[in-house]
Amino acid sequence: MNSDAARSVTSYDFDCLVFIGRFQPPHLGHLAIIREALKQARQVIVMVGSSWQARSLRNPWHFDERQAMIRSGFDNADNQRLEITPLLDALYNDDVWVRDVQRKVRDLAAPANARLPRIGLIGASRGQSSYYLSLFPQWESVSVPLVEGISASQIRERLFRSPGSTDDYLSTGAYHDLPPGVVESVGKFCKGEAYHRLLEEQQLLDQYRQAWSQAPYPPIFVTVNAVVVQSGHVLLVKRTAAPGKGLFALPGGFINPHERLLDACLRELRERLRLKVPEPVLKGSLRGQRLFDEPHRSWRGRTLAEAFYFALRPDQQLPRLKPVKGGDHARWVALADLEPESLFEDHFFIIQNFLGLPADFGSL
């Protein structure tokens, strides 16, 4: 019998410890925190952030892949005490995100008896985990020393640099960073189509970085996006090239040097989509605008997006679209059909900001 399983319920310091992370990929530092949580708590809830998002260089693995990688590091007895659950980001509303975490923990944390469970939040003493610890004052905080020398972002850079360097890393250095089961899973992933699509995006990003290398300061880009809604549908384009090839995106693009932001947004709708709505009608339908500035929102570098929300009057006939030849394919998509993993960058969260779409896809 596993020694932990033999312990009585009352011998644990906590009924439940919660660990929040992105686990892109799960590394030895993550597993050290989970092992410490298993020592101190009868039940451990691992919340996997950035779930239901499209694959990207920052988020290469889907939730089910990360869940399997985490479980590969533990035996059956420990896995029975692990609850691993997906968590959708709420990039521009911490309160929505905190509420989602609270609800999931409330539903998953089972008390040992009639009393309220003793819940804690565990994480590394530095980095993103320490920020999470500050958001939940109603739970006790457990801080674990950070494992030095392991960085998920550096691991991803090694994996997507080139096929040759990836093979070298997986055969040599990866075991210093990753559990054996994760090395095996990552190796299989790197033989698949999804890896090669991301490799193409990495090569494109390297070209961008080379072009910026002579700039006196890191460049900051400004873009515009249009959230055009009518009769329960939102106007989207399907990207035909990297980055985000095959994903839906909001219409928009980079601004020209001598135009105002709203004018740039209207230009994109007029020139690239040929939206059959007169400009005065569009301006009269403007219901809001906001700057979206999450630092990691775009892989291209620091990119600020000013989004404009147009609510067109309901009509049985959606406005006609006539995209420019060779451009992205535009279409009206029903709001009920929106899925975060099919949308480019943070565009789901931009739509969510204006329309109040549900944040917890796990409960739908």
- For residue range 266-323, list pLDDT tens digits in order: 999 998 888 989 999 999 999 999 999 999 999 888 999 999 999 999 988 899 887 6
pLDDT tens figures, 83-118:
999 999 888 888 889 999 999 999 998 766 656 789
Cis before 319? omega within 30: no
Q: 281 Cβ partners below 8 Å, 6+ apart?
A: 312
Instruction: Give pTM, 2 decimals.
Output: 0.88
CATH class, range 3-149:
alpha beta
Q: How far is CA 202 from CA 78, 177, 208, 241, in A?
A: 37, 21, 10, 14
β-strand 14-21 against 119-124: which pairing, if any? parallel
Q: Structure tokens of 113?
A: 């008896």
User: Can you tell me the distance from the alpha carbon of 233 to that of 231, in angstroms, rounded to the nearest whole number?
Assistant: 6
**Where does the pLDDT of residue 359 fall: very low under 50, low under 70, confident under 90, or very high at 90 and above?**
low
Q: Which residue, chain included where needed, has tokens 């490799």? A: 199
- Residue 221 pairs in a beta bridge with 303
Q: Choose among 169, 130, 159: nearest CA to 60.
A: 159
pLDDT tens figures, 35-91:
999 999 999 999 999 999 999 999 999 999 999 999 999 999 999 999 999 999 888
Give the relative orientation of helices 63-71 and 180-189 as an angle to the nearest 10 degrees: 150
CATH superfamily of 220-363: Nucleoside Triphosphate Pyrophosphohydrolase (3.90.79.10)
Q: 295 Cβ partners below 8 Å, 6+ apart?
A: 302
Q: Where are the domains of the chain?
A: 3-149, 220-363
Q: Choose among 175, 121, 120, 126: nearest CA to 146.
A: 126
Cis before 216? omega within 30: no
